[in-house]
Amino acid sequence: MGYENVIFPKETKFLVTGAAGFIGSNLVEALLNMGYQVRGLDNFSIGKKENVEEFIDNPNYEFIEGDIRNFETCLSACEGIDYVLHQAAWGSVPRSIDMPLLYEEINIKGTLNMMEAARQSGVKKFVYASSSSVYGDEPNLPKKEGREGNLLSPYALTKMANEEYGKLYTKLYGLDTYGLRYFNVFGKRQDPNGVYAAVIPKFIKQLLNDEQTTIYGDGKQSRDFTYIENVIEANLKACKATHEAAGEVYNIAYGGREYLIDIYHVLCKTLGKDIKPIFGPERKGDIKHSNADISKAKEVLGYDPEWSFERGIVEAIEWYRENL
């Protein structure tokens, strides 16, 4: 279980794109703690300088401020790199509905630039962030790779496009790509601010500040909330995967299912708050239920997540208490 036994030679060099963001900065931290060489890339369009400054004094860390929309930047970022962990993108379904053109530019063109740069640089593996949103309106649970519905947002379309390019890059050019379909990740450094913030950090921050929170819909929507440590494990195990396992996509989740309203009550109880939420209209592009079948990642990548929602939320709350 976990990733303690996933070991690379000490001189191994990783590139983490989106290094100033939530998942990217956690990957950087884990890799540096394991003693590897890490290069981060981010343009700070969403990510924060403090997520880079925290690690920049580590001699094994090097950071490039740059944009994945610029191919030359991607090429220099890939120079001398063994493994690319590509996280840079704009997230959020509702924001993508507001700004479809930007999503095309950043998420599709940017990812294609990164894949092409990785190919030209001869990197060993290209592991990239996809998303459970690619399941669209497919109603059956659990969600299973190969059983996708109609897409519901430009964001989902960009992730699907990434996956198609990923498959092509393996087939046409022999670049080992692995698409990780993350399901609602949560944990330290996830941004609680702004209208497009993810629910868990948003709820925690509002409760800590004694503010009322808005739940869109009836609160009975469910998600497979996935603690960040499981996502780190998946990325490292994908780097160790075989060539036969490349050109494929994998659900990365815990395999559980939490209802939003229950999470709200758990947070109220843990934080000692008695604040009633406001219920707003359902949001366009949102799906009602999501829960992952993770058997493919388990069988093929050896993914074996050890952080349940209950275990992860305790650590996450502790971090927000100390850092907000």
Ligand X SMILES: NC(=O)c1ccc[n+]([C@@H]2O[C@H](COP(=O)([O-])OP(=O)(O)OC[C@H]3O[C@@H](n4cnc5c(N)ncnc54)[C@H](O)[C@@H]3O)[C@@H](O)[C@H]2O)c1
Q: What is the contact surface with ligand X in residues (CB under 6 A)?
A: 18, 20-24, 42-47, 67-69, 87-91, 106, 110, 129, 131, 182, 184-185, 198
Q: Which of 1, 21, 3, 5 is nearest to 187 (CA)?
A: 21
Say how far apart CA 155 and CA 29 lie, in whole Å. 27
From the list 103, 128, 155, 264, the catalytic residue is 155
- Give the residue with the Cβ less far from ligand X, 165 or 182: 182
Known catalytic membership, residue 227: no
- Give the residue with the Cβ less far from ligand X, 3 or 244: 3
Residues counted in the chain? 324
- Give the residue with the Cβ less far from ligand X, 35 or 215: 215
- Beta carbon of residue 304, minimum distance to ligand X (angstroms, whole number): 20
- Beta carbon of residue 33, minimum distance to ligand X (angstroms, whole number): 18
- Give the residue with the Cβ less far from ligand X, 90 or 254: 90
Helix (H, G, I), strand (E, B) or coil at 153: coil
- Beta carbon of residue 9, minimum distance to ligand X (angstroms, whole number): 27
- Beta carbon of residue 1, minimum distance to ligand X (angstroms, whole number): 22
What six digits make up the tokens of 65? 């401020």
- Beta carbon of residue 280, minimum distance to ligand X (angstroms, whole number): 21
Q: Which of 35, 26, 23 is nearest to 59 (CA)?
A: 35
Q: 17 vs 88, 175, 180, 277, 319, CA distance in Å?
A: 5, 18, 15, 36, 24
- Give the residue with the Cβ less far from ligand X, 47 or 305: 47
Q: Position 157: which residue type?
A: L
Check if the beta carbon of residue 231 is closer than 8 Å to that of residue 182.
yes
Say how far apart CA 153 and CA 136 lie, in whole Å. 8
Q: Which helix (H) or strand (E) holds 315?
A: helix 309-323
Instruction: Please give the positions annotated as active site.
Output: 155
